[in-house]
Amino acid sequence: MSYLKQDMPELNHLRHLALLYGDSKKKWTKEELKYYVAHLGMDGKADDWFFDSFLFISPKSGAGRDYLADVNLGKTMSGEGDFFPMCSPNPADKSDWEALLAYYFGEGGALQTLDNTISEIAGHVPLPAYKRNVVLSLPYPHITQEKFGRIGDGREALNFSIKGQNLESATEARLAAEEWFVERVAELWHKGQYKHLNLLGLYWIFETIYRSWEVDDHVLLKELRKHINSRGMKFLWIPFYATYNFHLLEDYEKYYFDAAFLQPNFLFYKDGKYIETAATVARKCNAGIEMEYYLELDEPIAITDERHLRFREYLNSGVKYGYMTESACAHFQGVGSLQKMYSHSDPIEREFYEDIFHFVKGTYEVKDYPPLPPRPFFVPKKKGVISLDLGGTNLRMAVVDDTGKIAHWSEGDTPTSRDGIISSIIEKVGKGVIFAESMDLNVVGIGMSSGGRVNFEKGIIENSTALIPDWINVHVKQMLEARFNIPSVIDNDGNCAAVAEKVFGKAKSVDNFISIALGTGIGGGIYVDGKLLRGESNYTSEIGHISVDSNGPKCSCGNYGCIELYASGSGLARWAEEELLMPLMVGADGNRSSKGISESARLGDPLAIELLRRAGEKLGAAVVGLVNIFNPSMIIFSGRLVDVGVQYFDSFRETLLKRGMRPAIDGVEITFSTFPQEVGIIGAAALAFQSSIEGLSRPLNVNHRIERLAND
């Protein structure tokens, strides 16, 4: 389950697509387009590129006839009140379609002006790596059009209606007109020789697909897509929020379109339309998300006073649900909004200009909501999860909000028995739920990270690591859900660390990486092509149990010489003690723990330095095979051992460079987590949020939960 990904080569690295609505009677100007092409600093000069892709949309022809499919005969919009759409009674004909081609390709047309705008800005900002994409709207072949005109293939004037003919003939006529338009686009594009533009494809302007006794968009689109693709172009679509369209999206790539963006309509509907639902559907259907904003629209909208509040929710949700960096996005901004926002007297509008830019760049960070308007329909409420991290040394609990920030933290020693661990978990979760509710957080899940072998699907600890005694065959998910009535999810600590990096950390926009958690033991997680490797029984990425010495000591897993016996916290202590590499007591307090060894190394103890160097070398020897197999772009370290000493990580890096295969090893970035000590907590939280968003858990039923917990 994933969004329509950003930066795909087959879509010429499309990331953010600006919808440019224009008046067919008025040509685009460089002054208008520059605000979408480049970001302007306070001095009015371009300092960076803005949108990478542009969709040109013109609703009406110069003669006033419609390119859009439907018109609203009611007094409201967005499906509320007396909204009453119907196929346009004033449909465009062939002369209008030819005028649209001139609007795109003519002298001073949209494409020429866009190309010239980019050329001018390129004099101040280095050119981007790829040409800017353009997408052109196809005019809709209205079933109300009985006299479209001739297209020069010997036919009579085309009739798109079923008057005087059957539905099959009407569909053939509609398809013939669209194919003629595609051919003209391909011909004029070739003649244009645009320097900075790539013709990505064509856009189906109708926001749904109809099939009835009078119209057959189904057959039309299937055949039209083949024709568009045969000319080297893609076919794009932006459907509106509706369960019917959700169903169509499930098969859109099979039948109709190469790329689709779901519009949540959150800026137009009073209630019932939610970004979270749209994001869930988009992720499920491999679709992108359309962002919506406007300064003013010449249409009646019931929730105009919530415009700022709802757009902030759009921006914040891009971070919370991942579509800012994971999903290709389309951006509806009304007409000329970005230009007006840049110089707007309202500081909120000026701030939104910068926010949109940072969103497009993937650097926007969640912000507070503006004050609620009187009697709002939408009241934002932060979501939270209760997150647990069970390790060989500590049991941690935190309340984490949907931006990955920790609102509450509790930590204690890991109990030494199964019953003790369970009792401590229940106590900590109960306190966490009460705290979350006191902070007005909507608790949507419980996530847990644990050492040992975990059955992810069933939520069961099947086998324990030796570092957590008696922690075997524990039905954690069932236990938590029965006790708290909150959807729960559990995974091993290595996977959780990787999920933490993908959702909230340094790997948000990285598809191939290895996460290594260094603590009492060593955990790992591997992402390939944006997906976490789980294997047949959720037992992949056991990095700590890669053997580096077949003659080494026996590990709790049954193997010999596992890397965990040398390079983990417990391994360093074991090596120092059992292998007698450090015959003298180390550390200020004579401590042979990893902390004491690290302290001695910082004080210059040569034995401690040598031990850390050899541990790093062995870890490098273990990981180099993974690099050669999976070709990651990043290795991310987390856990309490990240402060163990430079000798450890320098030796790891040197071993990797010396033993790794080129060019795989040359492209690897070695880095440290932004939350090294909390990676288990953050990862378990991220897992719980993912499960909530993807609908993997049952709905919440929390009406009586808090009162009962408070009385326990």
| 322-374 pLDDT per residue, tens | 899 999 999 999 888 999 999 999 999 999 999 999 999 999 999 999 999 88
Supply 659's token pair.
């033993």
The backbone torsions φ and ψ at residue 460, rounded to the nearest 5 degrees and listed phi first, read -120, 135
Q: Assign a CATH topology to domain 9-361.
A: TIM Barrel (3.20.20)
Whether 705 has a pLDDT exceeding 80, the answer reads: no
Q: What integer pLDDT is reported at residue 699 of this predicted model?
A: 36
| CA nearest to 642, candidates 657, 652, 633 | 652
Q: Give pTM, 2 decimals.
A: 0.81
Top CATH class of 383-492+677-712 equals alpha beta
CA end-to-end span of the chain, whole Å?
Answer: 40
Give pLDDT tens digits for 434-466. Answer: 999 898 899 999 999 988 788 888 999 888 776
Whether 52 has a pLDDT exceeding 80, the answer reads: yes
Provide the pLDDT confidence category of residue 273 given band limits of 50, 70 and 90: confident
Fold agreement between 9-361 and 506-673: no
Contact 302, 348 (CB under 8 A): no
Give pLDDT tens digits for 523-547. Answer: 889 999 888 998 877 777 789 999 9
d(CA 13, CA 60): 31
Q: What integer pLDDT is reported at residue 287 of this predicted model?
A: 97
Q: What integer pLDDT is reported at residue 272 of this predicted model?
A: 64
Provide the pLDDT confidence category of residue 519 given band limits of 50, 70 and 90: confident
Top CATH class of 506-673 equals alpha beta
b/e map 526-537, b = 16+ CB within 10 Å: bbeeeebbbeee
Q: Tell how far CA 91 is from the center of its chain.
A: 39
Whether 695 has a pLDDT exceeding 60, the answer reads: no
Give pLDDT tens digits for 297-321. Answer: 877 787 888 999 999 999 999 998 8
Can you give the length of the chain in residues? Answer: 712
Contact 622, 543 (CB under 8 A): yes
Which of 328 and 599 is assigned the larger pLDDT? Answer: 328
* Percent with pLDDT over 70 in the chain: 93
8-state DSSP, 562: B
Sign of the CA dihedral 68, 116, 195, 11?
A: negative
Q: What integer pLDDT is reported at residue 131 of this predicted model?
A: 97
Per domain, the residue ranges of the chain are 9-361, 383-492+677-712, 506-673
Give pLDDT tens digits for 394-432. Answer: 899 999 998 888 999 999 998 988 899 999 999 999 999
d(CA 147, CA 159): 5
Provide the pLDDT confidence category of residue 1 given band limits of 50, 70 and 90: low
Residue carrying the six token digits 């007591």: 585
